Structure 1
Amino acid sequence: MNNQRKKGVLLVQLGTPDAPSTPEVRRYLTEFLMDGRVIDIPVLGRNLLVKGVIVPKRAAQSAATYATIWDDENGSPLMYYSLLQQQMLQQELGEEYHVELAMRYQNPSIESALKKMESMLLESIKVIPLFPQYASATSGSVIDKVMEIMRGWQYIPQVSFVNSFCEDPLMIETFADHGRRHDIHSFDHILFSYHGLPVRQLGKVDPTGELKCPDHGCDSCKESTNPFCYLSQCYATTRAIAQKIGLSEDKYTVCFQSRLGKTPWIQPYTSDALHTLASRGVKRLLVFSPAFVSDCIETLDEIQVEYAEEFKELGGEEVVMVESLNDDPKWIQSLKSLVLAN
C-alpha cells in the first residue's frame, strides 16, 4: 500500500531512564520534573527545587531501585512492555496503519517519532497517551508536546487525541481478568492504588475558574460537573472494575501513591491506607494499580517491595500485586478499538 495513504498511530508512555545508572536517572528525573505541567510552579522556583534539591537527593537512590527491576537484555519493564504493545497493535491494525512508540521523557522521544511520521506524509495521526485517566501532568503534557512539535510542520494531517479511556470496556475486563488470577475473595481487602497528584492541580482543570475542588476532590464530578477531573476518573475506573469482579464498596479502598514534597496531594495516601487497614486487623491485601498499563517501578518496587514491607511491619502478612495490562491480547484489542473509534 502507498505510504501516503497510511494512517499513523502514536503511542506515548511516560518514560524511563536509558540505563539504571545515576547519570541516566539524573537526566531522566530532570527532564520529567522540569515539565511545567508536572511541577506547576514558576520556572525559577522549579529550577531551584528540581536541580538543587530533588534530583541530587533522589538520583542515586532511584538508580539503585531501577537496577533491581532492570533486565540486561530487555531493559526496564516499562520499555519492554511498551515495545510489545506497539508491535502487537501494529500486527492487529495491519498495513493500513503505521504505529510508533514514544516516551514523554527520554527515549524514544516524541520528537524522533514525529519526525519519522512527518516524512511518511500520513493521512492522519491518532495520538494515544498511555494513561487511562486524564491529568494535565500526564496526558495533557503529552498532547501539549505533540502540538508544540507539529505546529512547525509545513503540512498538518488530520490529528486526533485520545485524552482518556478510564472506563474502556476491554481495558476494564482485562484488569478484572488479571485480578481473578489471584482468587480475589480470599483476600481480606482490595486496594486500588493510583498515582497521586497535588490537590491544587484538581481545580485547574476548569478554565472558568468556577470549579472549587474541596481538599480531597469529588468522586462523582466526572458525571455531574467536570469530565476531566483526574480524581473522579480514578473512581470511575475503580467502580467499573469492582462491578466487573463483584466487589461491594466496603471491600475496597481507593488510595494514591508517589507523593512528592510537603504540599497536599490527593488523599487517602496509600501508606495511610495500609496503616488504617492493619489497625483493623487486615492481613492479606490484593492491590490493583489501574493508572498504569505496563508494570513499572511504581508497581514492581513501590507497591510490591516498599508497601509490602511497610504492611508487614504494621502486622499484616501479605501484599499481592495484580499484574498490569502488559502484553495481554485483550488489552491490545482495547487499544485497537481506541484507534478505530470515530
Structure 2
Amino acid sequence: MSKRATKGVLLVQLGTPDAPTTADVRRYLTQFLMDGRVLDIPYMGRTLLVKGVIVPKRAAQSAATYQTIWDEVNGSPLMYYSVLQRQMLQEELGEEYHVELAMRYQNPSIESALEKLQSMFLDSIRVIPLFPQYASATSGSIMEKVMEIMRTWSYIPQISFVSSYCEDPGMVDTFVDHALRHDIGAHDHILFSYHGLPVRQLGKVDPTGKLICPDSGCDSCKAQTNAFCYLSQCYGTTRAIAEKLALKEDQYTVCFQSRLGKTPWIQPYTSDTLHDLASKGVKKLLVFSPAFVSDCIETIDEIQVEYANEFKELGGEVVTMVESLNDDPKWIQALKRLALGN
C-alpha cells in the first residue's frame, strides 16, 4: 500500500504559449504583459499599451519565432524541460511528497496546480519559482499569485517560498559542468547575459524608498544594501560561477538582454556589449544565461540566433551557448535540497 503524500512542492516557471500560433502567442503575451509586476505602470496605460500596441505588433512575429524552436514531438523546450524537472524531482523526493508544476502565465496554471494540492489536504506546501535570482516581475509575481489564491482556502497548510538561490552551490556547479563541455580557453571572452529589467524596478525592492540603484555597476552591493536586488544577485551568480572556473575579471562581462520600449533598462545591454567586443577584435564568445534554468526562446533563439547573427555581422566568428540546467541530475539534486529546505 502506497504512503499518502503529506507535503507538497510547487515548481513554477514563467510560461509558454500552448502552441506556436499567433492566437496562442497573443493570449500568452497579453496575460504576461498585463501583470502589474511585469509592466509596472497604471492599469489604463498598461491596457492601452499592451492591447493596443505591443501585442498586435508582436504576436505574429513572436509566433514565427516560436515555430523555429518548437519540437514536433516535445513541443515547447521550456515546457519539455520543466516537465522533466518535475518528474525527476518527484522520483527523488518519494511518496511523502507530491510535486506539481505550474506556469505563471498560461498552462498548467497556478490555479489548477494549487487546486490539486488543496484536494490532498497536505500538511505543507513549498513553492519554488524556477528563477535563481529574485525579481518582483518573476518570483515576486508568482508569490503574489499563490497567496492571492490560497487566502480563499478554508484550511491553509504551512506554506513556504524559496525566494532566490542565486549562489546555490548545486546550481552553480551544474552551470560550471556545462561550461566545461566546451573548450573555454578557445574563446576570446565570456558573456554572462541575464534577462533585463527596467531600472525603475530595482529601487522598488526597498520599502523605505531610500535605495537609489544605478543602472549598472553595482557589482558588490549585495552585502551592503539590499539582498533582494535583482542586479546584485545577477552579479552574485556571476562571481560564484567565475570563481569556480578561476576566471579573471577581464575575461568576462555581465550584460542584460530582452529590453522593451524606450524606458531605461539595466545596462550594459547585451547588444551594446557585442558591438564593443567586436570593435576590440574579439572573435569567439562563450555565453552563459544564468537567469534561466531551462533552455527557452531567450537562450535558443535570442542568444544563439539573434545575437549570434548580430555578432557575426560585426566581424565576430563564433557564439557558443552554455547549456542551461535542463534535466541535469546535479540540478535536480539542488532542487531537492531547496524543496527540503537544506
Answer whether TM exceeds 0.5 for this pair: yes
Instruction: Give the SS at the match of 2:222.
Output: helix
Q: Deviations over 1:113-172 (max 9, x none)?
A: 000000000010000000000000000000000000000000000000000000000100
| Equivalent AA in structure 1 for residue 13 of structure 2 | Q
| Contact persistence 2:3–2:95 (CA under 8 A) | no
| Equivalent AA in structure 1 for residue 116 of structure 2 | K
| Contact persistence 1:13–1:103 (CA under 8 A) | yes
TM score, norm. by length of structure 2: 0.99
Instruction: Give the SS at the match of 1:174.
Output: helix
Aligned to 2:44: 44
Aligned to 2:8: 8
Deviation for aligned residue 1:2: 5.0
| Contact persistence 1:193–1:289 (CA under 8 A) | yes
Greater displacement, 67-76 / 234-243: 67-76
| Equivalent AA in structure 2 for residue 147 of structure 1 | M
Aligned to 1:214: 214
Q: Deviations over 1:66-110 (max 9, x none)?
A: 000001221100000000000000000000100000000000000
Q: Deviations over 1:204-225 (max 9, x none)?
A: 0000111111233622221111
| Equivalent AA in structure 2 for residue 104 of structure 1 | R
Identical amino acids, percent of aligned pairs: 81
| Contact persistence 1:21–1:63 (CA under 8 A) | yes
Aligned to 1:286: 286
Aligned to 1:146: 146
Aligned to 1:164: 164
Matched, 1:230 2:219: no
Instruction: Give the SS at the match of 2:11.
Output: strand
Aligned to 1:189: 189
Q: What is the rounded CA distance, in whole Å, between the counterparts of 2:336 and 2:215 in structure 1? A: 37
Aligned alpha-carbon RMSD (Å)? 0.8
Counterpart mapping for 1:1-342 below 5 A: 1-3=2-4, 6-216=6-216, 218-341=218-341
Moved over 3 A (4+): none
Deviation for aligned residue 1:185: 1.4
Q: Deviations over 1:15-59 (max 9, x none)?
A: 000000000000000000000000000000000000000000000
| Equivalent AA in structure 1 for residue 98 of structure 2 | H
Q: What is the rounded CA distance, in whole Å, between the counterparts of 2:311 and 2:167 in structure 1? A: 30
| Equivalent AA in structure 2 for residue 243 of structure 1 | E
| Contact persistence 1:36–1:43 (CA under 8 A) | yes
Deviation for aligned residue 1:178: 0.2
Count matched residues.
341
Greater displacement, 214-223 / 7-16: 214-223
Q: What is the rounded CA distance, in whole Å, between the counterparts of 1:184 and 1:155 in structure 2? A: 53
| Equivalent AA in structure 1 for residue 18 of structure 2 | D
Instruction: Give the SS at the match of 2:254.
Output: strand
Instruction: Give the SS at the match of 2:214.
Output: coil
| Contact persistence 1:193–1:287 (CA under 8 A) | yes
| Contact persistence 1:199–1:216 (CA under 8 A) | no
| Contact persistence 1:19–1:25 (CA under 8 A) | yes
Structure 1 gap segments, 5+ residues each: none
Q: What is the rounded CA distance, in whole Å, between the counterparts of 2:154 and 2:298 in structure 1? A: 40
| Equivalent AA in structure 2 for residue 76 of structure 1 | S
| Equivalent AA in structure 1 for residue 190 of structure 2 | I
